[in-house]
A = this chain, B = another copy of it.
């Protein structure tokens, strides 16, 4: 998982935007990361950008899936739904905790909680459905 994480976060493609996320724990369908909200992650209101939140939900849950059952190849996304519960201002350290809920024949169902590390309050909650690759 550390290797996958390294490749994703050092990319030149859009994956680069999560480059400052740090892998904390994971494996067996789960991936937990931390990230400090900095200017590059923010909207004009100087809080975590909703598109950045969505990108974290997408990528960290994909890494979680890749660790499921000793390696599950991810395919393209089918659906992503994100509830934004509370803003995360500049310098907040956020925890992104992605879980694999189910892996069927064709689809994987993933769930992600984004919380404020200090207060444990939920910032966002995401549901992500993906095809499984081949």
Q: List chain A positions with a Cβ less than 8 A from chain B.
A: 8, 11-17, 39-47, 49-52, 54-59, 76-87, 101-102, 104, 106-107, 109, 111, 121-122, 125, 127, 129, 131
List, in ascending order, chain B residues with CB within 8 A of A104's CB.
85-86
Residue from the list B12, B50, B101 in contact with A39, Cβ < 8 A: B12
Q: A14-B43, A42-B13, A51-B58 are in contact. Are A101 and B81 (CB under 8 A)?
A: no
Task: Determine the chain B residues whose CB is within 8 A of the CB of A101 once the complex forms.
Answer: 83, 85, 122, 125
B84/A76 in contact, CB under 8 A: yes
Give the interface centre of A46, A49, A78, A81 by most chain B CB atoms within 10 Å.
Answer: A78
C-alpha gap A11/B125 in the complex (Å): 27
Q: Which residues of B have CB within 8 Å of A11?
A: 44
